[in-house]
Structure formats: structure tokens, C-alpha cells
Structure 1
Amino acid sequence: MMRFYCADGRCLSLDIGAAADALTDAVVWIDMVEPTHDEDRMMERLLGISIPTRDELKDIEPSSRLYVEEGATFMTASLVAKADSEVPHLTDVGFILAGGRLVTVRYAAPKAFSLFIGAMHRIPGGCPSGLVLLTRLMETIVDRTAEILEQLVGRVDALSLQVFGEGAAGKRRPPRYLESRLLTVAGHHRLVAMTRDSLASLSRLMTFLYALPPARDDRETRELCRSISRDIQSLSEHASFISGNITFLLDASLGLINIEQNTIIKIFSIASVVFLPPTLVASAYGMNFAHMPELQWTYGYPLAIAAMVVSAAIPYVFFRWKGWL
């Protein structure tokens, strides 16, 4: 699917047949979302450039992600998609500056794009060129990344209260409560790792963009690039701080699990010591007495079997109720 955006934020969503007629000087942004092979070939003919495929966007070599070719500038950044869901992931997005226009190629829907599209008409002075639009889009992407980190801080704080709050309040945790929290910690750590990778790719992109002559020659664009780069640096440091907190929370959870397990082992050890003297006496005498009335009971053997089963079941049920097993 392809959408054409004008400088004032107007959107033209057309099929392949009408796309050539829509590509006028008023169009400053061509957003290609999961483009088909035919759409790629058509845009290559209209713009005179090569549109990167999904596999080419995944190329991790820096020289393959930031380059100038055929008079166009090609840049690729990794963005966090579905950050609010249970399965966030990184998606590679291609940014191409060609003929005064911006072309984006993406195979996912990062929230920053919908936020930027919704606020595009409110940008002062609009977006007269693809370069200005790209810097404004980068600003929105960085703002969205900051929002992801802010939400992650709230989740980590809530998880910290869950891990430490129950014990501090004197409440007994449910069985395997801390073990279930480890999966949540792992999910938070995965998200912050993705965010750091995304910030690293955005930092490289902004450095490359700032070095381009059109960006250096325009004062407003140059200052905006500097501001975005400083924001990326600050967010990278903040992400490292959050990662440290998550690591501490993971270590603390494992420590609490070890403490609980040691407490359980201590209880088992005490129980073994308590029952050791009776076992020693029974072993010494072997219950070999001449006068044992139970030997003459008709149902003595089944009662003994039942007593053994009950004596084994009661500790098992008790330990399960206490959450020790």
C-alpha cells in the first residue's frame, strides 16, 4: 500500500494505476507500507531509484544502511513496533531522500508514524521538502521512544512493588509467585534492549543526516538535527539506567527465591531431626516384643498400611498448603 502526502498533511491513498498521476510537485512524502513487487517496480520507474526490499532493509552492515546512490540518500533505522503489546519487536524502516521528496519503506506499523501523520497538519510552516519532513518525523520517533521508556519505568516500579511489597507488608506470597515474576522481568529487559538498539541506529542515522550538505546549509534543519541528537543521547543514558534497575530487580528476585528455598530446606531439616529419635528407638528394638496386641488383630495389617499412607499424605498436603512443594 502506498500513501502520498502533501506539504499541508493531505493524504492521497491511490492504487497503482493512479499513482503516476498523483506524483506531482505538491507530494513531499511517499509512505510505502508492505509494498508489493509491482509497487516497488513502479516507484523505481517514477523516481529513478532502487527501492530496497525487506531483506535489504535487514542488512546489518552500517555501510549498507547509510549511503548515497544515484543522487538519492538511503538510510535505514530499527524502530520498536508493538511496544504496548506482549510481543514487541524491532522493525527496519527505510528512509530515502530523492528529488526533494521523502520515501519511507516499512513492513510494520510503528506508532510514531500514526502519531506524526495525525499531527502533520499542525507543523508550523508545514513540510515544504522531504528533508524537513524527515527531521520532523525523526523528532516524533524520538518522542515516541521517550514515551516507551517512560511507560517501561512505570511497569518496572509496579513490578518492584510486587516483588518487595508483599514481603515488606508481612503477607505470605502465593506459591511460585516470584518465579512467575521472572518472566515479566525478562519481558521488560527484552523491551529495553530493543529500545537501546533502536536508539543506537537512530543516532547513526542522525549523524549521517547532519553531515549531508542540505542539512548543514539550512539553519533550522541543522539546529533541529542537533536537538534530536542530544535527545537520543539522553534517552540512551536513561535506557542504560533502566536496564540497570531491571538487572537489580532480577538479582533481587533470584535472591528472594534462594532465601525462600533455604527456609524450606531448613524446615525439612528440622522435621528430619524431630523424627530421628523415634526412628532410632524403633530401629534399635525393631518392635520385637512378646506381647503386642496388634499382632492378634484380624485387620491389623490393613490398618497398618492405612496408617502408613495417612502418615505420608498428611505431611505432603501440609507442605503443599504452605507452598513449600
Structure 2
Amino acid sequence: MHYAYAVQGNRLVPHDPDRDLGEALWIDLIQPSDAEMDRLRDLGVPLPDLAEMEEIELSNRLYRENGLDYMTAVLPGETAGGDRSSMPVTFILSVDRLVTVRHHSPRPFLTFPTRAERSTLGCGGPDRLFAGLMEEIIARQADILEGSGRVLDQTTAGIFERSTAAASSDRLQAALQGVGREAETMARVRLALLTIERILAFYTATIDDRPEADRLRPVIRAQMRDVQALEVHADFLGSRVSLAVDTTLGMINLQQNNTARILSVIAALFLPPTLIASIYGMNFTTMPELDKPWGYPLALAMMGAATLGTWLFLRWKHWL
């Protein structure tokens, strides 16, 4: 499946399917079929397959071939099944068009076509279109980090509340799972920022060959600064995740310790009465109290006094 766009005035509009695909400024392919790959090959744009896009070697993700620049980033998005995943997206840039190849749905590819004209340089050419799309992608990573920050604010606020000390284990487990999900999200964003930074560095190294190098250079530099600032923000959120995890685990340990303490106190209170009952249950022949009418009440009184004495001792020691 593919989407094609052309420029009409200052706006990016869907390309007329009846017209030649070679006239499109941006061709966005999603899980391209063999027929689509052959069609792009006829336009002089060989497409990499998913295995080639997933190669981690820098030479396989950033290279120039036959006048085309191939740049691959790993971006978070949704798969066809609705699951969140980070998968590679390849940007193929030529003097005539921009081609993107992806196998999942990062949100910027859905939102950018309707507001491409509002990007810094607009969408008047493939280089401007590429710069605007990268701007949208970077802004999306910032939105994801802000969302994770809000989730962490709510989670840590709930953990540090006084009532949390008596919170159920289910609530603490839910908090721990929520923090874990946000940590995974931030890891995906961190990987995306790293690969975007590599793309921008590669693009900067070849920018002198671009027709509008003077207009593009300050925009790409500003995007590099944005990426670096987001990387610092991601590191800060990572430290907050560690704090939230440590705090949640500490609360769980305190809750378990309180449970163990209560059980220990109950055992300590019943230990002296159990000792007394065990003595009078030994059934020796010579036990004078067994023949006395006051023997049974005396045993009960001794057990009650022992329990009360143990409780008072624990209170005096501030162990209760």
C-alpha cells in the first residue's frame, strides 16, 4: 500500500491516482508489495526490504547510491495489529522526490500531510518536505516524553501520599507496572532520537550538494539542538523512573514488613498463655492445682496476666 502527495500552491495534497506516479513529490509506502517495489524501481528508486532496513550497521542505514540518499531511523508507532512497536523507517531523498518506506504507522506520517505548509520551510520541494517531516517527527517525540512525564507525576504523587502506606498490594503493583510501561516508551523514544540525530548528521554532511543549502542548514542545526535537548530530557525522565521504581519497591517492602510485624506481635502475645497451657497439659500425677476448685480459674488468670504483661512490655519498648 502506498500514499502519494503533490504540492498545490503551498499545500501538500493527495496525488491524483490517474496521473503518473513519477510526478508525486512524496511517495509513502507501507509494507510495499513486489509490484510497488518494481514500480519504484522503474522510477529509478530501488527500495530496501525489511531485513535491510533492520541492519544495525551504520553503513546499511546511512548511505548514498546512484544520487539517492538512503537514511533509516527507528521510530515508535503502531503495527497493523494495534501493538506499540519501534521499527525502521527509511527516507530516500533525491532531487525530484522524497520516498519513505515503513512497515508500521508512526503518528507523524498521519498528521504531517495536513499541516505540511506550516512547517518552518514549507513543502515546496523534496528537501523542504524532508526537513518538515523530520520537524514533525521530533515534535512527536517531545509529545511522547511530555506524556510520560505527566504519567510519572501522577504515579509518584500517588506513591508519596500518606494513605499509600496502607494501600493494597494491587495498587502498588499497578503503579510499578505503569512506571515500567513508561520506561519502555522512553527507551523507544531514546532510540528514535539517537537514529534521528544520526540522520541529521549525515544530511548535514551532504547539505552542500543541496540547491537550498543556505536555507536548509540553520533549520537542520536547530533540529539537531532540539534532538539533543530531548535526549537530556529523556535522561532526566529516566532518573525519575528509577526513583519511582525504588520508591514503589520500598513501599511494598514496608507493607510486607508491617504484615510480618503484626504476625510477630500476635505470636508473641499468645506465646506465654501457650506455655502455661502446655505446663498444665503435661498430666503429671502430682499436680496439686488439678484437684483444687480454683485451679482452672487460676490458669485462666495467669494466661490473661501473661498476655497483658507482654502487651504492656511491647508498648513500653515502642514496638507497637
Which range, TM-score by smaller chain?
Answer: 0.7 to 0.9
Partner of 1:204: 198
Per the alignment, in what secondary structure is the counterpart of residue 47 of structure 2? coil
Q: CA deviation at 1:122?
A: 4.1
Q: Deviations over 1:206-261 (max 9, x none)?
A: 00011113359611111110000000000000000001001100001111111111
Contact map agreement 1:77 1:94 (CA 8 A) in 2: yes
2:239 to 235, 244, 256: 244
Q: Match of 1:186?
A: 180
Q: How far, CA to CA, are the matches of 1:23 and 1:184 in structure 2?
A: 47
Q: Does the Cα contact within 8 Å between 2:29 and 2:99 map onto a contact in 1?
A: yes
Give runs of aligned pairs for residues 43-122 of structure 1, distance below 5 A: 43-46=40-43, 48-82=44-78, 87-122=83-118
Q: State the 1:36 CA deviation.
A: 0.8
Does structure 1 residue 286 correspond to structure 2 residue 281?
yes
Q: Matched residues in 2 for 1:250 and 1:123: separation?
A: 39
- Please tell me the root mean square deviation across aligned C-alpha atoms, in Å: 2.5
For residues 246 and 125 of structure 1, what CA distance do their matches in structure 2 show? 37
**Under a length normalisation based on structure 1, what TM-score does the superposition of the two structures give?**
0.80
Name 1:313's counterpart in structure 2: none
2:209 counterpart (180, 192, 214): 214
Supply the distance in 2 between the matched residues of 1:278 and 1:230 (Cα, whole angstroms).
73
SS in 1 for 2:15: strand
* One-letter identity of the residue aligned with 2:219: L
**1:269 Cα deviation after fit:** 1.1
What's 2:317 paired with? none
The 5 Å alignment of 1:1-325 reads 1-7=1-7, 8-12=11-15, 14=17, 21-24=20-23, 27-46=24-43, 48-82=44-78, 87-123=83-119, 126-165=122-161, 168-169=162-163, 172-212=166-206, 213-215=208-210, 218-286=213-281, 288=283
Cα drift, residue 71 of structure 1:
1.6
- How far does residue 132 in structure 1 lie from its aligned partner after superposition? 1.4
Contact 1:72 1:97 (8 Å CA) reproduced: yes
Asked whether the 8 Å contact 1:66–1:205 carries over to 2, the reply is yes
CA distance 1:157–1:59, shift in 2 (3 Å): same
The answer to whether the 8 A contact 1:28-1:127 is kept is no
| Aligned position for 1:322 | none
Q: 1:171 to 1:249 in 2, by over 3 A?
A: closer
Gaps of 5+ in 2: 293-320
TM-score, normalised to structure 2, is: 0.82
Distance change in 2, residues 1:145/1:251 (3 Å): same
Residues 210 and 216, structure 1, Cα contact 8 Å, conserved in 2:
no
Alignment partner of 1:127: what SS? coil
Report the residue type matching 1:191 in the other structure.
T
User: Which consecutive residues of structure 1, in runs of 5 or more, have no partner in the other structure?
Assistant: 293-325
CA contact (8 A) 2:165 2:255 kept: no
- Partners of 1:102 and 1:160 in 2: how far apart? 44
What secondary structure, in the 3-state scheme, does the structure 2 residue paired with 1:246 have?
Answer: helix
Give the SS at the match of 1:41: helix
